[in-house]
Structure 1
Amino acid sequence: MKATLVLGGARSGKSALAQTAAETQAREHGGRLVMIVTAQAFDDEMAQRIARHREDRGGAWTTVEATHDLPAALARLTAGDIAVVDCLTLWLSNVMLAEQDVEAAADALVEAVAKAPCPLWLVSNEVGLGIVPENALARRFRDDAGRLHQRLAQAVERVIFVAAGLPLTLKG
C-alpha cells in the first residue's frame, strides 16, 4: 500500500490510527518516520495542542511543517520514508485563508501524492456529515473539503473511515 486516506470526525481516532500504522510499517520494513504537520499556532491553546502532539509522538519522528506548500513537502520525501500528513483540512483552511487558488492547490496535492516515493498516511476531517453551515465561508470550506476528499479517494490505494476509534475500510 502506497497511499492511504484516513477520514473521520474530530477526536475519532484517525490520527492515532495513521500514526500507529506508520510505526508498524517502520518496525516491519524499516524506514524514517516523518510527520508532516499543517497546523499553525494562532493562539496559546493551539500552541499547547501542537506541543502536546509533538511530545506524544516522541523522538522517533522527524517533524516537517507544511502549512501551505504541502506538495513541496511531499516532493522532499525519499523512498526510505514512511510519512503521515496531519491534517488535510487544516492545510485546506490555510490555503483558503491565504486566498490561494484552492483548485490549483488541490491539483498540485493530488499530483504530489501520486508521485510520492514512499508510503503515505493522509489524515483529514470529514466535515460533510453535519448540518449545512450558516455562513458562506464555512459552506465553501465544507464543499472544497468534500471535493478534495473525493479526488484523493480516487488517487490513493486505500481509504479508511474512522468513528469512535474503529476503522471501516471504504477502499482497498
Structure 2
Amino acid sequence: MTPRDLTFVIGGARSGKSAHAERLASDSALPVTYIATARVSGDAEFAARIAHHRARRPAHWSLVEADSDLAGAIAQHDAPGQCLLIDCLTLWLANLLCPADGVAPPLSQYHAQSAELEAALTEARGKIIVVSNEIGLGVVPLGEATRLYVDELGRINQRVAALSSAATLMVAGLPLALKGAGHA
C-alpha cells in the first residue's frame, strides 16, 4: 500500500501559510488543482483578499470552488499523479456553521460532513495539501456560536493533522515542521 501523501499547513492570520502551501504544490511538479473554500460575497475587502490569492497562483493551475461540499470536490478531482491544494478548512467550517441564508444547520449535519471530509482525505490517491488557521491560541471567546466555531475548528484541525504524513506550523512566514519531513 502506498503511504498517504497528505500535508497539513496551519498558522495564524497572515502567517504565510497559503504562500507556503502554494510553494509546496509548485515544488511537487504535479498538475495542481486549487480547491478554494471561500464564499464570495458582497464584501469588498474580502473580495480583494480573494483577488490577491488568485493573482499569486500560477495561471495553469485548475480552480475548483467548494464552499461546502469539500469531500465531494476531493473525491471528484483526486487522482494519482495530481496535487490538490485545499485553502482553507477555516472558511469551509464558517460556510457550514454560518451559511449564507443565515439558517444554521443542526450540528449533526456538520459532523456528517466532517466525517465525509476525513474519509475523502483517507481515501485520497494523489498529493493533498490542506491549509487551516490556528485560532485556539488566545482567550476563550465570548458567545456560544464563537466558542462552537473555535472548538469545532480545533477538533477538525486535530483530526486532519493526525491523518497527515507531514504537518507544518507557520509563524511570521517561517515554517516549523511538526510532523514528517524535517521533524526530528
**1:20 counterpart (20, 23, 35):** 23
Match of 1:35 in 2: 34
Match of 2:73 in 1: 73
Match of 1:87 in 2: 88
Q: The residue matched to 1:120 in structure 2 has which SS? A: strand
The structure carrying a bigger helix percent of its residues is 1
Q: Give yes or no for the alignment of 1:126 onto 2:126.
A: no
User: In the alignment, residue 153 of structure 2 is paired with which amino acid?
Assistant: A
**2:123 counterpart (103, 111, 115):** 115
Q: The residue matched to 1:34 in structure 2 has which SS? A: strand
* Consecutive unaligned residues in structure 1, runs of 5 or more: none
Question: Taking structure 2 as the reference length, what is the TM-score of the superposition?
Answer: 0.87
Match of 2:9 in 1: 6
Identity, in percent, stands at: 42
Output the CA distance in 1 between the equivalents of 2:52 and 2:154.
29
User: In the alignment, residue 45 of structure 2 is paired with which amino acid?
Assistant: E
Q: The residue matched to 1:15 in structure 2 has which SS? A: helix
User: In the alignment, residue 45 of structure 1 is paired with which amino acid?
Assistant: E
Q: Give yes or no for the alignment of 1:147 onto 2:155.
A: yes
CA-atom RMSD in angstroms: 1.2
CA apart distance, 1:160: 0.9
CA apart distance, 1:153: 1.3
User: In the alignment, residue 112 of structure 1 is paired with which amino acid?
Assistant: A
User: In the alignment, residue 36 of structure 2 is paired with which amino acid?
Assistant: V
Cα offsets for 1:100-140 (capped at 9, x unmatched): 42211111111101111211110000010011111111110
CA apart distance, 1:46: 1.5
Match of 1:62 in 2: 62
Match of 1:157 in 2: 165
Match of 1:46 in 2: 46
Q: The residue matched to 1:117 in structure 2 has which SS? A: coil
User: In the alignment, residue 167 of structure 1 is paired with which amino acid?
Assistant: P
Query: Is 2:81–2:127's contact at 8 Å kept on the other side of the alignment?
Result: no
Number of equivalenced pairs? 168
